[in-house]
Amino acid sequence: MSTASGTAFLLWSILSVLFLVFLVHHLWCYDRFKCLRWSAGRQPGAFKRVMTYSYLAAVPLFAFYSIGMTVIKYSEGFIMTPDGSFIPMPIDLYREPNRSWVLPLQFVFSIAFALE
């Protein structure tokens, strides 16, 4: 994970926020969030509602993870390897405030991935 670039996390942040906005906008335009009611709909479609609830929970978690990792990656920067190439800073060399956020962000990612 330490070789993941800040640019990749920045792109992921932008896309996850855009998808979250699209999801909320789509649910609003579809029926103004009435589809989220457990007793809504002409037929029992509980599975669709459970999937919608899981997306509504997972997408903000993915956005939180990607934004957090973007901030960490850009604040830590890059290091030069002995052969002269630049790589993102390894996690072991992070400053303590940033290193303390890595594990909680990984848990957030795991929960979001489980909901997906």
Q: pLDDT tens for residues 53-67?
A: 899 999 999 999 999
Q: Which residues contact residue 91 at a Cβ distance below 8 angstroms, ignoring those fewer than 6 apart? A: 1, 2, 99, 102
pTM of the model: 0.86
Indicate the pLDDT class of residue 41, thresholds 50, 70 and 90.
low
For residues 1 and 16, which has the higher predicted lDDT (pLDDT)? 16
pLDDT for residue 45 is more than 80: no
**Structure letter (DSSP) for residue 89:** P
Residue 107 corresponds to which tokens in the numbers above? 């848990």
8 Å CB contact between 33 and 49: no
Residues in the chain: 116
Residue 98 corresponds to which tokens in the numbers above? 């940033």
